[in-house]
């Protein structure tokens, strides 16, 4: 169940951005002791040792409702060495603006960089397979994409 909660670093960042929703759990770290995820008691004061631990679902909803930031995480299939593989990637929209993180542009740049002039094989699949992960376009698991998307949302709001 712990994997349902956003990591501590992102919980701190959300707190700095004004996140103050009710949460089931809280991160607790007294005087440099080991960080713990403990049940949240509403009667406790959230102070120096406590940081609310939202679920990923809560965090994404908060970004939608407070900042009009909408996330789309997609699963894609690609063929590399005749084996079908999957990867995940995301884009973020705000209001009428779609893809504010310019993921479509990054994908186009990757395609251009991996283009080759070989009849019947216009794309260097091996190079593409490496670069989509190295350049942060793709992630091997949904959870990796979800965390990177959350980090990007935090960055967008901090820089707004």
Q: 3-state DSSP call for residue 59?
A: helix
- In a shared domain, residues 82 and 150: yes
Count structural domains, the chain: 2
Of the three residues 31, 64, 97, the one that is the final residue of a domain is 64
Single out the residue in 47, 64, 81 at which a domain terminates.
Answer: 64
94 in the same domain as 60: no
Q: Among the three residues 22, 46, 64, which one is the final residue of a domain in this structure?
A: 64
- Domain span including residue 33: 2-64
Using a 10 angstrom Cβ sphere, with 0-12 exposed, 13-18 middle and 19 or more buried, the burial of residue 91 is buried
The whole-model pTM stands at 0.86
**Within its chain, how far is the Cα of 160 from the centroid?**
18
76/137 same-domain check: yes
Q: What is the pLDDT of residues 103-135, one digit of tens each?
A: 999 999 999 999 988 887 788 888 988 899 999
The pLDDT tens digits of the residues spanning 19-75 come to: 999 999 998 877 667 778 777 666 555 556 788 999 999 999 999 999 999 999 999
Both 8 and 35 in one domain: the answer is: yes
75 and 148 belong to one structural domain: yes
């Amino acid at each position: 169940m712990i994997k349902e909660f956003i990591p501590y670093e992102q919980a701190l960042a959300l707190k700095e951005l004004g996140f103050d929703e009710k949460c089931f759990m809280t991160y607790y770290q007294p005087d440099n002791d080991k960080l713990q995820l403990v049940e949240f008691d509403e009667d406790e004061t959230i102070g120096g040792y406590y940081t609310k631990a939202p679920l990923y679902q809560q965090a994404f909803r908060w970004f939608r409702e407070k900042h009009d930031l909408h996330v789309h995480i997609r699963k894609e299939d690609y063929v590399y060495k005749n084996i079908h593989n999957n990867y995940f990637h995301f884009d973020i929209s705000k209001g009428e603006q779609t893809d504010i993180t310019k993921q479509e542009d990054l994908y186009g740049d990757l395609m251009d960089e991996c283009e080759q002039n070989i009849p019947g094989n216009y794309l260097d699949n091996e190079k593409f397979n490496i670069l989509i992960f190295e350049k942060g376009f793709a992630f091997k698991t949904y959870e990796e994409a979800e965390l990177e998307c959350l980090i990007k949302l935090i960055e967008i709001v901090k820089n707004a």
